[in-house]
Amino acid sequence: MTSNICIFRNAFVVQDKHKQQKGLSRSPVLSSPNSLSKLGRSRLFNISKNCVGEGEPFLRERKMSKAGALDLASGLGGKIDKSDVLSAVDKYEKYHVCYGGEEEERKSNYTDMVNKYYDLVTSFYEYGWGESFHFAPRWKGESLKESIKRHEHFLALQLGLKPGHKVLDVGCGIGGPLREIARFSSTSVTGLNNNEYQITRGKALNRVAGVDQTCDFVQADFMKMPFPDNSFDAIYAIEATCHAPDAVGCYKEIYRVLKPGQCFAAYEWCMTDAYDPNNQEHQKIKAEIELGNGLPDIRLTRQCLEAVKKAGFEVVWEKDLAVDSPLPWYLPLDKSHFSLSSFRLTAIGRFITKNLVMGLEKVGLAPQGSQRVQAFLEKAAEGLVAGGQKEIFTAMYFFLARKPHSDSE
């Protein structure tokens, strides 16, 4: 009974309205919060509240994340020597348009740029977000943490994960989604990440969570994966492959290591069709998001979809999940929003963090350059909120794609 409750607490089950594609079996689609009746949403939400945050797992989870000021200070800079953090910030900023950088330079040096970014920001992310560094569509009355877990379960359900499946998380961060999906679906999940600091942190969290025997990490570039062909039963990416300098090349690698007949699902960061490349305000918003999030370039949703097809996948269905979300996905970063459950992400919480970092840097507990990292993350938050409000950017363009059984299929 418990397993059934935990499945349905995250499922928005509706009849699929997408066109059935040749050769693809269709099942009910698990869609956005608006897909259920008011009564259905109420029942599922009540079940969710009873499943989340109770007992020993909840207490263990609270102990896992770095939560205090000294934890924040100790992690700043990641694997970068503390004396080199300021120089790393300089180099990172110069990659971006806001500081005169060029797109081609970001793409050709994406490994260095993205690694510097995550060394510099991971401690801030964990301090503010916990272990899962991503957004989610959200119900009214639903906490940020609950929405994030549901968003992760949604992927697992879309992929049809079953006990014993071998799954790959592409761009796994410190493994928050990896651990949640592994526990939810009783699968073995491998996290692929090119950042040494995040992998070190993720392995430690796996041990605390008790999933270190079924979940592991591999340090590698997702443009050149160190796996044999046809290795995985399912693959997913959560707001990660937006870091790829070439979407087609990245998706081709995913295609190569996925078993024939199996699926790849992703949430992508994209500019929407409402984005006008000739509009200076739109350009500024895009540049702020790229600077604050370590991105070489943000693709349009249609470019992303075309890249999936060029890689050889059959698209089962795709949708911008931000469109039907009752609450804006960017709400946690909106300065007009206040929440005790995600206090550190609010305007007041970020102001406190800013002054905290200033003080820690002044007394030498945080490395020089930490304030500048906090500053470009704040700029990123402004860009994300503006992009969401103007509907020119989405953090949750979803697609489910299948690798054919044969190239001729």
Contacts of 1 (CB under 8 A, 6+ apart): none
Pairwise CA distance, residues 108 & 15, whole Å: 44
Phi first, then psi: give them for residue 36, nearest 5 degrees.
Answer: -110, 160
Which string of DSSP letters, residue by residue, matches 196-255? HHHHHHHHHHHHHHT-TTT-EEEE--TTS--S-TT-EEEEEEES-GGG-S-HHHHHHHHH
- Rounded Cα distance between 17 and 60, Å, is 41
Q: In what order do the strands lie in the sheet with 166-170?
A: 216-219, 188-193, 166-170, 232-238, 258-271, 393-402, 314-320
Count of Cβ atoms closer than 10 Å to residue 340 Cβ: 8
Of 239, 253, 268, 318, which one is the catalytic site residue? 239
**Residue 235: C-alpha distances to residues 61, 225, 231, 295, 319 (Å):** 25, 13, 10, 22, 18
353 near 344, Cβ under 8 Å?
yes
In the residue annotation, 105 being an active-site residue is answered as no
The residues annotated with a catalytic role in the active site are 239
